[in-house]
Each structure stands twice: as structure tokens, then as C-alpha cells.
Amino acid sequence: MSTTEATNAADLAIFAGAIEQICSEMDTALERAAFSPIISESVDRASGIYSSIDGGAIAQGHRGLPIFTGCMQYSVEAFLDEVTVPGERDVYMLNDPYRGGTHLMDVRLITPFHVDGELVCVLANTAHWADMGGAVAGGFGSRSTTIHEEGLRFGPTRLVRDGEVDHDVLGLVLDNVRVPEERHGDIVAQLGALEVGRRRLTALVERYGLDGFRSFADQLGHYAERLARAQFLRLKHGRYETVAWLDGDGVSSDPLRVSCAMTVADGRLAFDFAGTSPTCAGPMNSPLGASKSGVLIGIMHAFPGLLINDGTFGLVDITVPPGSFLDARYPSPVAGCASEVPARVIDAVMALLGQALPELAQGAAYSTSANLTVHGHHEGREFIMYFFAGGGYGGHAGGDGLTNACATISMAKVPPIELLEEWYPVSFARYELRPDSAGIGQHRGGLGARYELVIEADRADVSFLMERGRFAPPGIAGGGDGALTTAKVVRTDGTVELPEHVTKDQDIQLRRGDRIVVEMPGGGGFGDPGLRDPALVDRDVRAGYVGVAA
Amino acid sequence: MSTTWHIGGDVGGTFTDLIAWSPDRAAVLVKTPSTLENQADGLMHGIAEAIPAEDLAGIVEVLHGTTVATNAIIERRGALTGLVTTAGFRDVLELGRRTRPQVYGLRGSFEPHVPRWLRFEVPGRLNRHGVEQLPLDETATREAGRALRDAGVQSVAVVLLHSYANREHEDQVLAWLADELPDVPITLSADVLPEVREFERTVATVLNAYVTPNLSEYLGDLGQRVGEVTTDARVRVMQGNGGTLPVAALTGFPIRSVISGPAAGLTGAARVLSELGISSAVACDMGGTSFDVGVIEDGRPLTTNELELEYNVPIRIPTLDVRTVGAGGGSIAELDDGGLLRVGPRSAGSVPGPIWYGKGGTRFTVTDANVLAGRLRATQLGTDLAPPVSKDQIWATVQQHQPELTAAFPSPGLLADAVLRVVVATMASCVRDVTIQSGRDPRDYAIISYGGAGPLHACEIARELGVRTVVVPASPGLLSAYGCLIADLATDEIISARSALQDLDTATLGVAIQRSVARMSENLTGVEGMPTSVRALYECQFERQTHAVYVEAPLDPDPAAIEAAFLAQYRELFGGLLPSSAVMVRSVRLEARTPRRAAAGFSLGDVRTTNVAVPPDVEHWRPALADDAVVRGPTTISAPDATLFLPPDTTATVSTGGHILIEVHA
């Protein structure tokens, strides 16, 4: 290695840290100023810097929401396709699922970054708004059959023209969403974050010079590739297959099949989803970007040290058959695409990687965001409340699965119950562990949560968009499956109503005193339960994690 | 009357640092190995080393930071603790906020500090306004108390939903439990952290209960040991908020001693800055394994309630704001799979330590890089070594054990340079994180650098960030001990407000504040008769925002003043665009501070260290530098506790109190 290269091993490390820090600063700015609790409390947002040639990721914040992280490069790609000469201080917004988006509530803001009039790269962020119009407040309707019922859709649309917000465009958007003043706050936060990124990136380019910046960005890609290849070379060559199931699309009761084959050769991975179910009528379709993002997240979960960079992703080929529900096209509804479908893709990818490298084998995670949306009016004010409880991750050779973990696609935390009770006319009768929810095994899965919510508004409605009601998280290597999701409405007279499609239903009308009860799955177990350390068995029984009728 | 002595001590993971100060003698510095079984042993050894035996009776104060509570929490070695909570919510502690340890990777584990079988539910419910929805069940509460007694618990935490809005139910539970468990300490969440957010409040309350017996035992033991040598000495404990309290006043709130070490360092740094007339600085403490950063503004370290001790263990009580990255003298350099140089977070620790220590270390560390670069020459205090390992031997060790490093960096100079540049970038980015996240520009600040390894890198960090002024205190390696010695007496209280600013019931809140102020002042002023000052920090946010901002405003609640302060700070943090919704006040945090009578006289300026000879081969020997001496970089100023490296284009001046003031030229 020459001296120049030697110097680079340190210089590139410094550059990599600096550019990632810019993304994190954008994330921080967005998170702290946002209004939607789902952004500020649940960190449902991401920021990044992308190539101006093909939208490939140069860097993204390490605390960004994974599903956005994997997906934003496709949004930027769509932006670059359509907006060939973006103005220097323009900002575009985009939420079109078919042009690199996820569900409509996820809004990307994208801005070109110029130096001396020359387009250098693109800055973007995504944030989940609590509403985007549409038939169901909050956007998680489970019975839509076209995108139009799901809300307002826009391709790359210029929101800021030469540094000035276009109030016509802003007004058009705000007039079509619920609780517009909060959404306005979210837009302001997203714009502020891009400005932070622009300032910091300007300083970085000044420091390295434009050629230096480009050279380092390029080297960073090569480095990411080397890092990924070193890991992929550890996988056993061959072709592996798996199938994972979703309960159904919310319109019919037919399950949806994710078929995936992985081919490992020479440090490259190829995933082929041939055999996957066709486009479905209900909102469980996934746009191509979100589906591919599921693959990339699965790989990142298996190899957490890899970089979120085009150099990593360039070693991965993904083939999704056109016409399948993993390649949603207009006008298919997609509300479940960010939370549920890619989660199952992640399950499939991690199962395949576990076959090719045994140390990665792990029982399946609970893998449902299990969205509950309660909407209503109370004391003259409209409200929309989301709640999603956690479930267990799978057991693995190193130990039991994590209990009440966040969704695999996100880092979203649950807001405190005390704040939910303060913000919304609801109270929680219980929020606790769900015993016997974990798959048994030498290393059992983690436990799921369960909760019971009492409606205190005069009038409200509830929608369920959940999964794992029919197909449990599988155990592995002799471990048992996790429990299924259950959801029900209990009326004040004790009558129990179940969602029409097990885990999916919408606009169930509620009255004061009605209860919603949800139980979440645990993770799949790992290994023969007979081999479990007796001390751990005793501990589990004593704690009531297992074997105790609730 | 013999000489009086004041002892300031900081018990760290590796070393116990100690300063013995006396009004009419030179202060004495001692660095002695920590004794992890019983921290009092190390502390007493240090005292015996610092002070002549005939003087021991002259000790009047032992002020110290201890890691007893932090260690018990992290190592799960606290008391057998029970939890009594609202029916339906016994698992809050274990559910957390639905998280995982890392963004990527689905593995990890969490062990709750109270096992599930010791978590008991009692019927009884308040709503969000603190209004009773369901009365408390006395029978169930007493049964829980008896079950906890039968289980042999040593401590109990009580956390009921919405108790920040109304503490009557918790007080009632306490009364019934105290009947059933007469000898067991009971912690109420309404005392420890009367703030909304049940998980964070539960953690703070449970941890407080969990460490209560450990800390009581330790402090009891220390008090007795000190009492054996002198009858007059008072033992005081450093808190995470940067102030000390008498042992008796800390009783009931041991959780407040968490992160006392870094807080003591920041407190010492603030004092040094005030001696130099500098009001704002970023404080950088670099030791063997970590780099801790805090911000001092207008002479005061910033506070936070967002520290996380480890995964799923947030500490939401008010502490000084200290952020940590794994970059220290012992941090190991290695190439990753992609051929990039990484420095830390893996550390060689103190055993085997860097290769240079000659104690069996085989991994190239930041300290070794400093030796190869010619910056570190002298024996370091407490390390007990006359370095037997030469530069050539270090290089040979790397060639043998990390050949990939010597292949990538084919000369000692290149290797050292690369490692130092990467570790400086890591630390600088930590400083950026800390400042930028709170809307601050590091260029507006000076850097004050301390810890055993801090001054080696301070000027380069400054240059990286565009900072022009660097301060290195006299005795930078023992600044935490100094901080303990000079810290104010301090206590904090939180009053729940939860109201839109326009609807704020200023009369009721004002009365509650006055009551707290009177109580805190009486307690603190009662210690030495010194006057107590209290600041009010109002926790504000726009309605339904989840993130709150603390702003200072008059003790007598004045909505206009609170709003003005909030809007000003909000603009500074988040830019000029303001939401149109109402401003809320969630709570008021009261910070009471009382200077200690003797503290004003303590200075680092006149100290001596025991048993350190001037090593050969040093460029400058710090204890020998004259007042007002000017030293220009590039050079090194060696010292027994911490060596200072001056890169080119820097000018160092020995200033007031023996502190070194460095100008970093652009």
C-alpha cells in the first residue's frame, strides 16, 4: 500500500464520520421541532445525502427509521428522473408510492445541493405525518381498494421556489389533510432540517474542495462495498429458499405469500421473489422501493456494521416479479406497505441468511407494527390517536429474544401511557406483558405486550391494520412458534366483536366505555426446548412469563 | 489548634483521585488505585498517603464522588427490591418504551432491576388530572406489603399512574406499606421524579430504591472509618447535578449520586473558568477509556434530564449534561474489514493497558501513538511506571501483533499521525454533537480540557472545530477531585404545573414554589449558615409537542416573562418559524445552590504532588514553569498528572491560578 493510500485509511474515516454527522444533525433538527408525536416521540423520520446522478445513498443518519433509510434513494431517483434541472434553492415534496414512496403519510422533502451553480448531490428527508386526508383518519384504512381512498398523492412538487415557500402549494396540501396546523408544523420542521444540512454540507465542501468531496464520496462507496463483501463472503455459496405469509389484504381473507430465493455467489447476494402472490385488492400492496428496502434492512439487521451506502447495496440484486403485491402499481392501495409487508420481507431475508450462515439463525421476530387508529371528536375537537404495542424478537444461539421490542422496520417508541391519556379521551385499563406469547426453545423468544384501552369520548371509531393473526412467528432449529396477534372490541354490555379479517378492519363505531383489547405476538424460539437451562425454566415460571393461565 | 484539612476525592473505576487542601499548607495531590470491593478502603489509603498521621485529626471535611450507586445499577448488584404499582401496569419497567438497543441488529437483552415476582399491583386509579377514578384498595396494598416482607425485600419502590398530578395515593400506599414493612426503606415516585412519563419515572424510582441500601452501607462505613481518625469531620457526597450534600440530606435520594464523577469535573472546570474570567466553554474530559463532553455557559454547566445509563435505563433526574464517546488513552487502533482505520471504542483499559505501560498490552492505543509521536515522555502519576517500553519496542510489538496496521502505515510517524488524527476527529465530532444538538456553535466557545489524556489533544480538537482559546487547568488530571472540593451544596425540586401558559394559575403555583424554596433554603443554609440562591427553570413546549425546553424565568411565575424566554430559546434551537399553537408549562424545576464557606479559598494554583521527580528528556516541566511564562508550539509541557501537547501555531501562557491559557492561531 502506498503512502497516499495509507493516509487515506485515516482521512476517509474522518470524512465518513463528518458526512454521517451532517445527516444526524438533520435528523435531530427534524425530530426536535416536529409536531406529529409519531415524528418527535417515535422518531419516524430519516435524513440523507444522495448522488445527483442516480440517487444512490452517499450517507444517511445512523438513527434514521430503517424503512425510510432503505427507501429514500428510490424517492430521490424518481425525483431526478422527473426534475431534470432543479433550481438552486428549490425544495420539492413527494409522497407518491409509485415513485419511490411508501404509504401516503410518509412525506419526502428533497432539495438539490449546488456548489458554484453546479449540482453536486441531493439532500432529502422523510417524515411520517399523522394524516394525509383520505377516507380513514390517520391513513391506516384496511378496506381501501384504490390509492384514492387512502389520501392525497403527489409526485415531485415544488414547495419552495428559490428559497420562498409557495403558499399555493402549501395551501393545497393543508386543505386536504386533517389537523392542518400540526401538519404545517411538520413541514416547517422538515424544511428546517434541510437547511441545517445545506449549511453543514457547504462547510464540508469548502473544507475538502469540490474535487476532494467527490473523490471522498466515491471512496466511501468503495469502502462500503469492501466492508459488505467481507461479510457476504462468509456465507455458504448456494441457493436458499423460504416462504413467509401475511394474513390477508383486508378485503378478502386469502393469505398473501412472500416467496424468496437467495443465491450466494462470490460475495454477492441475489434475491428473487418469484412465486410471490399477485397484486391484492386491499391495502397490503408494497411499492417496489419499500419491498427492496425490506431486503436491505434484513441484511443490515444481520450485519449491523455495514454502511448505508450505495456501495453496500450494489452487491445485492433484487428481482421482484411484475404484477406481484411486492411491486404495487397505480391504483393499488398501499397503506400497509411501510409497516407490514416489508416486515415480512425482512423475516424472509433473515431466514435465508440464517440458512447460509448458521450463526445468524434466529427465531422470527413478531414482525407486525399492529397499527391501531382511534379517531373521533371530543369536546369540540377532532383527534387521531395511533397506538402500536411491541412484540418479541426471536431466540438465537446467544440467548433469548428481546421482549416488547420495536418493529423491525423502525425504531419507533411507544408514547408514554400517561401522555396518551393526557392528549386523547382514552384510558388504559392495562398495559403489560403477555404471558405464554413467546415461542419455546433452548433460547425462547421475547414476550409480546397486551393492552386494554377504554374509550372516554362520546363518539369514536377504530381501525385495525395488523398482522400475524393467522401465521405465527416461526421458531427455528426445534424452537416453538410465537403466539398469534389477537384484537377485539368489547362493548359495555360485554359483547365481543372481532375485526372482520382477524387483524384488519376499519371504522368500527365506538361509544364511551367500549374497550379495545390487543395481544401481541412473542418471537419464535431457538433450539430444542428440552435443552433449556433449568434455572431459566424456573425463572420463567416464577415470573409468569410461561405456564401461568392469565 | 493543628492544621485543618479538607479532602476532595473522586473514586473512579481505576484510580481514586484525591486533593488534600489546608488553608495554611500547600495542597497535596494523590492518585491511588481504587478498591472496588469497598471504595472506602482506597479513599482512606489516599487520605493516609496525603496527610501526615499527626494531622489526621485536623480533617474537617471529606467531599467525594462515588460510583457505588452507578456500579450497583450497571452490575445488578443492588438490593433485593420490590415494586408496588397501579393495577394493570406492573410490567412498565420491563416493557420500556418498546425499543431495541441498536438501530440495526435484532439481538440484545435487558434485565429489569426488580424481577416480575416482586412487582405487585394495587387497584386504585387517578385520571390525567389527578382526579380519583377508583379508590385505593387497602387490603390489596397490605397484602402486597406482607408478600414483599415474606420475600425478604430490602427496599421498595412505589409508582402509581399520574402521581405527578396528585400524590395522595402514593402517600397512602406508603403509610400502609410502612405498617407492614417497618424497617424497609420505601421510595415514592412523587418524591424522586414528579413528572409525566410512567416508564422513566418508574426507572428513576426503582433505581433509587435499588441503590438505597448499598449507598447507606457504604456511607455508614466511610463515616465510621473517618470517625476513627477524627471526630469532627463531615462526610459529603457529590451528586450528578454538580453539588454536594451532607450524607443525611442525601438519604432517601441516592440516585442523585449517579454520574457524580463527570459532574465533579464540570464543576471544577466552571470554577477554573471563573478564575480566568471566561464565561462559556466546552469541557472535554479524556481519560483512559472515554471522552466526556459538557457545556458551560455563563459560568454554569448545562443540565439535562435525558441521560441514559445503559439500554433501557434512562436517568431522568436533573444532572449536569455529560455526553460520552469511547475514545480515551487506552482506545485501541485497528483496521476494519473494509481497510478503514478505527480507534476505539475497544479499550485496553488499565490492565494490560497500552503497549507503553509494559504490562502485557499488545494492541496499539492512543497513548502509544502519543509516545511514538514524541508527545508523551514522562511518567504519569499513579501509573507506577518508569516506562520500560521504548518507541522501538512499541513499533516491534505492533509489527508482531497487528501487522495489518504496520502494512497500512509503514512508519511509526505515519501510524501515530493517522491514529491521532482519527481520534481527534472522533472527539471533535462528539463536541459538535453536543453543541449542535442544543443549537450552539462550538466556535463561540473556548475549550477547557482535562483528564489524564485531555491536554494531549485539546489544541487539535480546538483547531478542528474553529475554537481559538483552550484552557488547561492547573492539575488537569485531578480536576474531578477539585470539583468535589469546591462544589456548592445543591438540591433540586420539581413542581408539576401542566397548564397552558395563558391559563396558568400563577397564585397556586407561586405558593408551591415559595414553599419549596423555603424548604430547600432552610435545609441548605442550615448546613453552614451560608445564603441559598434558587433558580426556577420552567419546562415549556407548544401544546402537544413532546419535546420540552427548560427556560429560566423569575421564581414568582410571570407568564409574559416565561413566554418571552421560551420563544427566544425556541428560536435559537429550532429556527425562526414558530408554530401557532398554545405554549404549555409542564413543570418547574427549582435549583437551589449554597456556596460552602471554605470553598472560596481553595485554588489549584498551589499544589504539590508526592514522590514525583522531574523525569529526564522533557521539553518543559510544568511545575517548573514560572508565572506568566509563555511557551510556543510545537512542543510539549510534561506534568505528573497530564501532559500538554502544543501543536504549531499555538501560544501557551501560564495564567492566574497556574492555569494555562492557549491561543490557537487560525
- Closest partner residue to A399 (CB to CB) among B100, B109, B436 is B109
How big is chain B by its Cα radius of gyration, in Å?
26
**Inter-chain contact B98–A405, Cβ cutoff 8 Å?**
yes
What grid cell was written down for A506?
A: 376499519
Residue B477 has pLDDT above 60, yes or no: yes
Determine contact: A66 vs chain B, CB below 8 A.
Answer: yes
- Closest partner residue to A422 (CB to CB) among B196, B410, B429 is B196
User: Is-contact B348 B333, C-beta < 8 A?
Assistant: no
Question: In which region does residue B197 sit, left (phi positive, over 0), alpha (psi from -120 to 50) or beta (all else)?
Answer: left
pLDDT of residue B377: 78
User: What percent of chain A is modeled with pLDDT above 70?
Assistant: 96
Determine contact: A365 vs chain B, CB below 8 A.
Answer: yes
**Inter-chain contact B106–A365, Cβ cutoff 8 Å?**
yes
What grid cell was written down for B464?
A: 478542528
Determine contact: A550 vs chain B, CB below 8 A.
Answer: no
pLDDT tens per residue across span A327-352: 999 999 998 887 899 999 999 999 99
Amino acid at A249: D
Which of A192, A226, A260 is where one domain is finished? A226
pTM higher than 0.90 for the full model?
yes
Question: Residue A182 falls within a domain, yes or no?
Answer: yes
pLDDT tens per residue across span A359-410: 999 999 999 999 999 999 998 888 889 898 999 999 999 999 999 999 999 8
Please, which pLDDT band fits residue A1 given cuts at 50, 70 and 90?
Answer: very low
Residue B641 has pLDDT above 90, yes or no: no
Helix (H/G/I), strand (E/B), else coil: B176: helix
Burial of B189 by CB count in 10 Å (0-12 exposed, 13-18 middle, 19+ buried)? buried
**Inter-chain contact A431–B414, Cβ cutoff 8 Å?**
no
- For A:153-212, CB contacts with B below 8 A are 181-182, 184-185, 188-189, 191-192, 195
CA distance B433 to A24: 9
User: Is-contact A526 A476, C-beta < 8 A?
Assistant: yes
Please, which pLDDT band fits residue A452 given cuts at 50, 70 and 90?
Answer: very high
The mean pLDDT of A465-479, rounded to a whole number, is 97
User: Is-contact B642 B449, C-beta < 8 A?
Assistant: no
The mean pLDDT of B103-116, rounded to a whole number, is 95
User: Is-contact B181 B156, C-beta < 8 A?
Assistant: yes
- Closest partner residue to B106 (CB to CB) among A32, A393, A404 is A393
pLDDT of residue A5: 47
Burial of B25 by CB count in 10 Å (0-12 exposed, 13-18 middle, 19+ buried)? middle
pLDDT of residue B287: 86
Question: In which region does residue A313 sit, left (phi positive, over 0), alpha (psi from -120 to 50) or beta (all else)?
Answer: alpha
Helix (H/G/I), strand (E/B), else coil: B65: strand
**Inter-chain contact B127–A422, Cβ cutoff 8 Å?**
no
Residue A549 has pLDDT above 50, yes or no: no
CATH of region B489-595: 3.30.1490
- Closest partner residue to B429 (CB to CB) among A18, A226, A396 is A18
Question: Residue A325 falls within a domain, yes or no?
Answer: no
Which of A199, A226, A253 is where one domain is finished? A226
Amino acid at A420: L
pLDDT of residue B297: 93
The mean pLDDT of A41-48, rounded to a whole number, is 79
pLDDT tens per residue across span A499-523: 999 999 989 999 999 999 999 999 9
Minimum mean pLDDT range among A57-66, B221-230, B317-326: A57-66
Question: Residue A280 falls within a domain, yes or no?
Answer: no
A507/chain B closest Cα distance in angstroms:
25
CA distance A401 to A399: 7
User: What percent of chain B is modeled with pLDDT above 70?
Assistant: 96
Residue A6 has pLDDT above 50, yes or no: no
CA distance A139 to A178: 10
What grid cell was written down for B288?
A: 483512559
ipTM for this model? 0.93
Nearest-CA neighbor of A223 among A286, A135, A112, A315?
A315
Beta strand B155-159 with B186-188 is: parallel
CA distance A390 to A482: 13
CA distance B398 to A332: 60
Residue B28 has pLDDT above 80, yes or no: yes
Higher pLDDT, A178 or B416: B416
Question: Residue A322 falls within a domain, yes or no?
Answer: no
Task: Calculate ∠ Cα A47-A53-A59, nearest 5°.
Answer: 30
> Mutating which of B76, B93, B102, B107 best tests the A interface, going by the most A Cβ atoms within 10 A?
B107
pLDDT tens per residue across span B37-85: 889 999 999 999 989 888 899 999 999 999 899 989 999 999 999 999 9
φ, ψ of residue A139 to 5 degrees: the values are 90, -10
DSSP 8-state class, residue B268: H
Parent domain of A439: 361-550
Residue A213 has pLDDT above 50, yes or no: yes
Residue A224 has pLDDT above 80, yes or no: yes
What's the maximum distance between 2 C-alpha atoms anywhere in chain A? 80
- Which of the listed CATH numbers 1.10.10, 2.60.40, 3.40.50, 3.90.550 matches domain B73-214? 3.40.50
| Cis, peptide link before residue A415, omega less than 30° from 0 | no
User: Which residues contact residue B422 at a Cβ distance below 8 angstroms, ignoring those fewer than 6 apart?
Assistant: A10, A13, A14, B333, B341, B342, B343
**Measured distance between the N- and C-terminal CA atoms of chain A, rounded to whole angstroms:** 65
Burial B523-561 (b: 16+ CB within 10 A, else e): bbeebeeeebebebbbbbbbebbbebbbbebeeebbbee
Question: Residue A238 falls within a domain, yes or no?
Answer: no
**Inter-chain contact A28–B437, Cβ cutoff 8 Å?**
yes
Question: Residue A118 falls within a domain, yes or no?
Answer: yes
Residue A40 has pLDDT above 70, yes or no: no
Higher pLDDT, B557 or B15: B557
Measured between beta carbons, the chain A residues lying within 8 angstroms of B580 are 181, 184
Please, which pLDDT band fits residue A3 given cuts at 50, 70 and 90?
Answer: very low
CA nearest B123 in A: which residue?
Answer: A429
Domain count, chain A: 2
What grid cell was written down for B503?
A: 391559563
Considering chain B, what is the average pLDDT of its residues? 91
Other beta carbons less than 10 A from residue A415's beta carbon = 22
Amino acid at B293: V
Residue B622 has pLDDT above 90, yes or no: no
Measured between beta carbons, the chain A residues lying within 8 angstroms of B341 are 9-10, 13
Determine contact: B91 vs chain A, CB below 8 A.
Answer: yes
Residue A550 has pLDDT above 50, yes or no: no
- Give the dihedral of Cα atoms B381, B383, B389, B394; nearest 10 deg: -100
Question: Residue A178 falls within a domain, yes or no?
Answer: yes
Higher pLDDT, B28 or A119: A119
**Inter-chain contact A9–B95, Cβ cutoff 8 Å?**
no
Distance of CA A247 to the CA centre of its chain: 19
Residue B385 has pLDDT above 80, yes or no: no
Question: Residue A320 falls within a domain, yes or no?
Answer: no
- Closest partner residue to B128 (CB to CB) among A181, A185, A421 is A421
**Inter-chain contact A230–B426, Cβ cutoff 8 Å?**
no
pLDDT tens per residue across span B152-202: 999 999 999 999 999 999 999 999 999 999 999 999 999 999 999 999 999
Task: Calculate ∠ Cα B438-B439-B445, nearest 5°.
Answer: 90
Residue B611 has pLDDT above 70, yes or no: no
The mean pLDDT of B233-262, rounded to a whole number, is 92
Residue B608 has pLDDT above 70, yes or no: no
Residue B137 has pLDDT above 50, yes or no: yes
pLDDT tens per residue across span A275-284: 999 999 999 9
B535/chain A closest Cα distance in angstroms:
25
Please, which pLDDT band fits residue B113 given cuts at 50, 70 and 90?
Answer: very high
Residue B576 has pLDDT above 70, yes or no: no
pLDDT of residue B362: 95
The mean pLDDT of A203-209, rounded to a whole number, is 92
pLDDT tens per residue across span A426-442: 999 999 999 999 999 99
Would you list the domain boundaries of chain B?
A: 73-214, 331-421, 489-595
What grid cell was written down for A231?
A: 461479510
Nearest-CA neighbor of A165 among B582, B577, B572?
B577
User: Which residues contact residue A164 at a Cβ distance below 8 angstroms, ignoring those fewer than 6 apart?
Assistant: none
